Structure 1
């Protein structure tokens, strides 16, 4: 008899059984499911997962759960993948392994009022473990974990590790504020110090503000793109 993934206390797994875990989590959250519910869909080629959260801080601060989710993905890959495997995080969501896209994170919240805690928030990620052989050379900006030396890593093993890293970072964020997460994400940010395009805008990626908003220099002016611009709003 096969068993599902094991998660830390206060987290519980729900097999999405082929459905999109992110959409299923948003629906479950809107129907008052428990915070800490992790919905997942595991295949040999791809892992998709999402978690229902119940932030107690205004949405402007709770938006940090999106980069926090990405940091947990990177940390899990760093713990389980080959030594020195380069894993970086695009500010807008994509996960970069050895410079190429290998997955992405995203988030949704129950409302758009930045001054109020959302009734719920969902963050989730997709990670590619393998691709059809023919895709290798045709998509040089995309990769998969098997191609990057992670052939022995199972999606279930990764999901369990990610949940532990996620819980650790949530606890650190609650206890120590944004500073540790800011340092971690800044050290992993893809394209930092370079010219980039993000959300239809171009400029020089200067760094991150105190809430992990992207500082973009263009035309002699510096603007902040807040993390909340990345959130999907659900009703």
Structure 2
């Protein structure tokens, strides 16, 4: 018996991809062909929640890339509402999602432009989350990887989580669009994994000091502090 289709807020509409297909690639292709903003593609590999959201920002890419952390906050809020209270969700600056300290999935970003001052035609935010372990070593010889069921979240329905991710992301997108950038900044900072630790990003290693007003990573090495923009995370079209 097939599951009912997920229900999304107004202006959002879902499309389930064929079994084994990549929802991120499907959303990117649909955006390139001129689909309406608000498309949510979902489906993909067994034991995983895979989804993507198509957006059409009206600000330059350097600002619009903030939709990646906005979607991260939306995910944390969504899982926080559905999982036991002891489950901790944190976000890496580059998009990885950590549950109780271990990586469990991540967020991806694509646009039709890489120019920071250009207004993109489309942004696509992708989400991947391991519901079940994806390898025998996950949680054993690879303790830095986990799955939702291994962290006490076996009762969380993936489609309910997808609905909640879109709903909470929409709320934060609305706040960001209304000019509440500081609220988004503060919320994301509180969820960031690795602050004050040594990290490597975009070929540089140093201390992760925090983020600036445009959500760029501030990375301090032996010589100076580097500002790494979110646009560094954009994936190449394939």
Give the match for residue 14 of structure 1: 15
Query: Structure 1 pair 113/129, CA: closer, same or farther in 2 (3 Å)?
Result: same
Structure 1 gaps, min length 5: none
Deviation, structure 1 residue 132: 5.8
- Determine the C-alpha separation between the residues in 2 that align with 1:38 and 1:134: 31
Following TM superposition, the consecutive aligned residue runs of length 4 or more in structure 1 with deviations greater than 6 angstroms are none
> Are the structure 2 counterparts of residues 177 and 117 from structure 1 closer, same or farther at C-alpha, using a change threshold of 3 Å?
farther
Following superposition, the deviation at residue 92 of structure 1 comes to 0.7
| Higher deviation after alignment, 194-203 or 18-27 | 194-203
State the Cα deviation string for residues 12-61 of structure 1 (Å, max 9, x = none): 00001231011110100000011000000166610000011100000110
Conserved 8 A contact 2:73-2:187: yes
8 Å Cα contact 1:44/1:155 also seen in 2:
no
- Counterparts of 2:37 and 2:154, CA distance in 1: 33
- TM-score relative to the length of structure 1: 0.95
Contact persistence 1:110–1:233 (CA under 8 A): no
Question: Is 2:22–2:44's contact at 8 Å kept on the other side of the alignment?
Answer: no
* 1:75 partner SS: helix
Alignment of 1:31 onto 2:33: yes
CA–CA separation in structure 1 for the residues paired with 2:65 and 2:54: 13
Aligned length, in residue pairs: 235
Ranges in structure 2 where 5+ consecutive residues have no aligned partner: none
Separation of aligned partners in 1, 2:102 and 2:200: 16
Q: Does 194-203 or 7-16 show the bigger shift?
A: 194-203
Residue in 2 that maps onto 1:49: 51
Give 1:36-185 correspondences, 5 Å limit: 36-41=38-43, 45-131=47-133, 134-135=136-137, 136-185=139-188
The whole-number CA distance in structure 1 between the counterparts of 2:207 and 2:165 is 31
**What is the distance in 2 between the residues matched to 1:204 and 1:29?**
37
Work out the CA distance in 2 between the residues paired with 1:122 and 1:87.
22
RMSD: 1.6
Distance 1:132-1:14 versus aligned 2 partners, 3 A rule: closer
TM-score (norm 2): 0.94
Given that 1:111 and 1:234 are in contact with CA atoms closer than 8 Å, whether structure 2 keeps it comes out as no
Deviation at 1:73, TM superposition (A): 1.1
Query: Following the alignment from structure 1 to structure 2, what is the Cα–Cα distance between the partners of residues 122 and 167?
Result: 14
Asked if 1 retains the 8 angstrom alpha-carbon contact of 2:23 and 2:44, the reply is: no
Structure 1 equivalent of residue 205 of structure 2:
202
**Cα distance, 1:84 vs. partner?**
2.7
Is 1:221 the counterpart of 2:224? The answer is yes
